Structure 1
Amino acid sequence: MKTFNKYIYFAATFALFAGCKPSFESPKKSEGTADFTRYISVGNSLTAGFADNGLYLEGQQNSYPSIIAKQMALVGGGTFTQPLFTEAQANGSTYLKLTGFNPNGTPITTTVTENNAVRGKVTIPGFGDVTLLTKYSGDLNNYGVPGIKLKQITYAPYGNLNPYFERLLPGNPPTNNTTYLDFVTAKDFTFFTDWLGYNDALGYATSGGAGDVLTDKTQFAQLYTLSISKLTEKGAKGAVATIPDVTSVPYFTTVTVGAILGAVQKANPQAQALYVNARATVDITNTTYAPRAATASDLIVLTFPTAKIGAMVTSPVGMVPYGLTPYAPIENQYVLDNNEVTIVKDYVTDYNKTIKAVAATKGLAVFDAYFYLNGVKANGLLIDGVSANSSYISGGIFSLDGVHLTPRGYAIVANQFIKAINSNYGSTIPAVNISNYRGVKFPN
């Protein structure tokens, strides 16, 4: 009897479930506590979609803000308009393309100059020549301006000096006097992303510490606080990003001391070292330089003309081989020496403390680009069936200039912003599939 009752119980249960058709509901897409009706992006070249040492149409179309905006539209976000170049001027400011490889495996690049958007040049007294690009007018959501530093966002004449900012303004040089901060906040918005600050360290680094200066830490903190206060004063919410470790990009990790010396020693086994003109201390106020043997901690820039090594040059003691003697060391602009590396890392760390602290006071989402991109350098990525890493060209993330990103790199960044936004505001913006975005474009 117990067995029969058990049978009846299981049969009834089976009949109950058999009568129910399984249903699967996708999670409801939501903007959470944020409002994406009018989203704007504030920042520099990374925000604009700069790639391959230029700003051109394909790069703009694959900027991380445009990718984010397309995903925001799935949860109620509004139209996102960029200052795109026309198809007739699709090559914008000109850019690099990969055309082949030398027998030793080094890449061959050429500059694409046809169909560009250059409209002329103007000489600004006290500054010099500024290349002018075709003007853009109309609606605008992507305010990315290549080259801009945080310390320039309140400088009124800047619209006469930066061609990417000048093309967005109605006036012509030297009559422009609208600050960048006033420009981006002139029209109301509901949400923003902000990735300003990178150039405040990058310019110093890429010049080998010789052609630019780091923005003062106190000035950076004051201006970052001011900018976020201005962006949030009418209730807009947003997401910010920290500054990447500028010394970890391919611009500084591709051409190494060891590789150059190894190539030299194949032809001249007696060569013992490369010599660089290096900063004497980590004291930023001490500008004393002296030649010394290079170490693996000294970073050679991607654009260093390696053919110069060993060439006979004039020195105080006569003709000597360039780079192979302390009498003709590699010049400052080609190397970020170990003391300069320490200095720039210290400044970036301080800048990032400011970014995180200010963001916390306003309850903003934070994409920690410093932490994330260092992790990519150390471990690589496997996302959506695509392997990616920080290697030059083959890694798929960084473009031919070794600093800015490929469409795939920008898609990866967009997903990290989306992740931070969803976590902070309870939204469910879907991520993009990075396999839909290319890495470096190889020759046909």
Structure 2
Amino acid sequence: MKRSLKIFIGILTGFVAITSCENQAEELTSTAIESSLLSKYISVGGSLTAGYTNGGLYREGQLASYPNLVAQQAGVKFDQALFPVGQENGTGYWATTQNNTSLQFDKISDKLAVLTTSPLTLAKYSGSVANNYGVVGLRVSDVNKAGFGNAKIQGFNPFFERILPAGKEETSYTDFVKESNATFFTVSIGEQDLLSYATSGGKISMTETSSFALNIQKMLDALVVNKAKGILTNIPNVLDLPYFNFYTFSELAKKLGTTEIYITTGNGIVRAATANDKILIEAIANVGKLNAGNQKKGFTMTYPLTTEEVLDKDEISIIASRLSDFNGILKFEAEKRGIVLVDLNSLYAQVNNKNYSVNGVKFDNSLFTGGFFSLDGISPTPRGSAVIANEIIKVINENYKNSLKTTIPSLDVSNFEALKVKQTQF
């Protein structure tokens, strides 16, 4: 399925050197760190931890997950639930192709591990998870739910179900990672608690602050119960992601030759969009579409964009407030347990403000040329994951130098893929 830049928007959201990312990850060389600190390193969290990128989870993305890159550089054993050969494209993902006039997009849909699509179920992973416990779409509000990986229960998570051993279907995520007996951990979670609300235009409820606090406390307590050391990342500002900033309403109106674009707010009010509102990337192609009455969508008050297609200024304010609450909780709970906090929020802000560069590579939040964000407009590219891995490595070296025999070397991020291009078959 191909789409030009003008009409491409339909990207799966929740759940530039072009070479094979799998080869990049597997060919990394590193110095083994002879330390009991990292003798059992596990990674905990959601889509970022799992290696979700370009709108899907697939083997190349898994190999470029930041925890795997950290482990490779440290020279420590790190098992992941990799999609096997023959199913290496996992859920499928987006890739680009170039013709003479525009950038086009293909949904890679062969060699999948998908068993059913409604609900989504995936081929079971039969090996040992052991180290990477990343689960796509995992929210803090989910981590203590019994049966969250049970395919017989409505609302289960297919990515968690895929890695749960037989007979463990009722095990909560917290109890599952507690069984790892880790000596060191990294945790990246909480972004999806905001994104579920944000990417649905406010339709799906956001995690309550009290629930977030209670669940993160229980999970962190389980991780440090055996005196394990660890790192916790805070949550980036989701409102700065390309998914919500592909076009402003004024840019879109000018492009389509209209003076105003009308939206429906979360309160049901129809009004002209302002600079304080955002359109979801997947809704852009709907603007100007004709209905049966020959009206162009968004061009009149009688045929506005729906509330699910936009974030109005009040919804944006709610997200910003909840982000502040969540990050405050993460900081407090990390300090209380001696867990080192890594400021991903600040890193993403530098990328958004075009103030981040490394190895001679500059980054920004442009969807196609920025290098950091993948084609889904939310998750990082392999190059972006390498940037995050370097931040984690730097913090490990600074805070645990007395436990390490030598420092962990950083990655050259220029060696990693910045834009997913479909490989041409000859």
For residue 6 of structure 1, what is the aligned residue in structure 2? none
Pick one of 65, 68, 72 that aligns with 1:66. 68
For residue 86 of structure 1, what is the aligned residue in structure 2? 84
Amino acid in structure 2 at the alignment position of 1:276: I
> Cα distance, 1:102 vs. partner?
8.8
| Preserved CA contact (<8 Å) 2:143 2:174 | yes
Distance 1:311 1:85 in 2: 39
- SS at the partner of 1:244? coil
Distance 2:400 2:350 in 1: 25
Distance 1:199 1:49 in 2: 14
For residue 142 of structure 2, what is the aligned residue in structure 1? 152
Amino acid in structure 2 at the alignment position of 1:151: S
| Preserved CA contact (<8 Å) 1:34 1:237 | no
For residue 3 of structure 2, what is the aligned residue in structure 1? none
For residue 125 of structure 2, what is the aligned residue in structure 1? 135
For residue 49 of structure 1, what is the aligned residue in structure 2? 51
> Cα distance, 1:305 vs. partner?
4.2
For residue 36 of structure 1, what is the aligned residue in structure 2? 38
Moved over 6 A (4+): 29-34
> Cα distance, 1:197 vs. partner?
1.1
Deviates more, 1:345-354 or 1:138-147: 138-147
What pairs with 1:275-294 in structure 2 (closer than 5 Å)? 275-279=262-266, 288-294=267-273
Pick one of 161, 164, 169 that aligns with 2:159. 164
Q: Deviations over 1:357-399 (max 9, x none)?
A: 1111111111111122012111342211212211101001111
> Cα distance, 1:319 vs. partner?
5.3
Q: Deviations over 1:15-66 (max 9, x none)?
A: xxxxxxxxxxxxxx89799701110000111101011111001000110000
For residue 375 of structure 1, what is the aligned residue in structure 2? 350
Distance 1:108 1:136 in 2: 36
Distance 2:198 2:115 in 1: 31
Q: Deviations over 1:144-180 (max 9, x none)?
A: 00011111111111102211111111238xx820111
For residue 3 of structure 1, what is the aligned residue in structure 2? none
Q: Does residue 356 of the first structure (1) align with residue 331 of the second (2)?
A: yes
Pick one of 98, 101, 108 that aligns with 1:100. 98
1:345 to 1:32, Cα distance in 2 relative to 1, 3 A: farther
Amino acid in structure 2 at the alignment position of 1:304: A
Distance 1:198 1:305 in 2: 23
Distance 2:99 2:303 in 1: 30
1:183 to 1:101, Cα distance in 2 relative to 1, 3 A: farther
Identical residues among aligned pairs (%): 36
Gaps of 5+ in 1: 1-28, 122-127, 266-270, 280-287
Deviates more, 1:413-422 or 1:196-205: 413-422
Distance 1:136 1:275 in 2: 51
| Preserved CA contact (<8 Å) 1:33 1:425 | no
For residue 209 of structure 1, what is the aligned residue in structure 2? 202
> Cα distance, 1:137 vs. partner?
2.2
Q: Deviations over 1:71-102 (max 9, x none)?
A: 222xxxx3111111112111011111112369
For residue 110 of structure 1, what is the aligned residue in structure 2? 106
Amino acid in structure 2 at the alignment position of 1:303: E
> Cα distance, 1:204 vs. partner?
0.5
Gaps of 5+ in 2: 1-30, 151-155
Distance 1:84 1:435 in 2: 24
Deviates more, 1:423-432 or 1:183-192: 423-432
Distance 1:180 1:390 in 2: 32
What pairs with 1:186-225 in structure 2 (closer than 5 Å)? 186-210=179-203, 212-225=204-217
| Preserved CA contact (<8 Å) 2:185 2:231 | yes
Distance 1:83 1:48 in 2: 9
For residue 22 of structure 1, what is the aligned residue in structure 2? none
Distance 2:99 2:219 in 1: 45
Amino acid in structure 2 at the alignment position of 1:143: Y
TM, length-normalised to structure 1: 0.82
Deviates more, 1:57-66 or 1:379-388: 379-388
What pairs with 1:232-381 in structure 2 (closer than 5 Å)? 232-265=224-257, 271-279=258-266, 288-306=267-285, 308-313=286-291, 320-381=295-356
Deviates more, 1:325-334 or 1:394-403: 325-334
1:170 to 1:33, Cα distance in 2 relative to 1, 3 A: closer
TM, length-normalised to structure 2: 0.85
1:374 to 1:120, Cα distance in 2 relative to 1, 3 A: same
Distance 2:120 2:216 in 1: 27
Distance 2:124 2:116 in 1: 9
> Cα distance, 1:185 vs. partner?
1.2
Amino acid in structure 1 at the alignment position of 2:417: R
| Preserved CA contact (<8 Å) 1:364 1:424 | no
RMSD: 2.1
